[in-house]
Amino acid sequence: MRELSLYSWQQCGYVGHVNSNRLSEPNLSKKRIVLYFPKPPEPEFGAKMHTVLTRGNAILAYTLSVLAGLTFCCFLSTLFVDYRTEAHMNTVKVVVKNVPDYSASREENDLGFLTFDLQTDLTHLFNWNVKQLFLYLTAEYKTSNNVLNQVVLWDKIIQRGENAILDFKNVNTKYYFWDDGEGLKGHKNVTLTLSWNVIPNAGLLPNIFAIGQHSFQFPSEYAKNRM
């Protein structure tokens, strides 16, 4: 039980006493009123806010909410950035051979060989939300068998902090230029395009095409010498 004492000076009127229906006469004496209240029950262990488990859970939830908000703000800050830039490409040497493709079957298919030049400056594409760039060079052409053929010939990863100014001369392709038939010999319109994926710290993964492309043609005769 808790005891609550109340003091009041009474100059006129009546003063009541606890547990009594009688009223005293007016006087100038000090009256003491004692009230008793039942003690509230103690909260259970799981309901105590000062426990380590409860406070740790609250701190963790608050921290995750703040990190999620910061990540979303990071994404919004670079949502409308233009990641396009110019790229200059040129083919130096172009040949085609007709050889068996042992990776798929033993049938003879056209295999193209080429070397190329590439100049572009990607420095300004990096900001605080760009982790790295994944570049790839693609050859596109049409044949009687397929309306659109796309072959990745070369790729490169540029991380933030690395040199993003590319000035390549007479570079060999990293991957084979196979055709599923004889569609490369004498083809007059093969287009090289440079593209890249922007790898962000938070947000979307856009696929960007460079401004500028290069078209070339394959010779009308197969090469006989070894490459």
- Mapping DSSP to helix (H, G, I), strand (E, B) and coil, where does residue 28 land? coil
The pTM (predicted TM-score) of the whole model is 0.69
What does 128-191 look like in DSSP terms, one character per residue? TTEEEEEEEEEEEE--SS-S-EEEEEEEEEEETTS--EEEEEEEEPSS-EE-SSS-STT---EE
- Torsion-angle region of residue 128: left (phi > 0), alpha (psi -120 to 50) or beta? alpha
From 198, 195, 191, select the one nearest 213 (Cα to Cα). Answer: 191
Q: State the pLDDT at residue 19.
A: 47
Q: State the pLDDT at residue 9.
A: 40
Q: 135: which strand partners?
A: 156, 196
- Mapping DSSP to helix (H, G, I), strand (E, B) and coil, where does residue 64 land? helix
Q: State the pLDDT at residue 5.
A: 46
Asked: is 87-216 a CATH 2.40.160 domain? The reply is no
**Positions of the chain with pLDDT lower than 50, given as ranges:** 1-24, 28
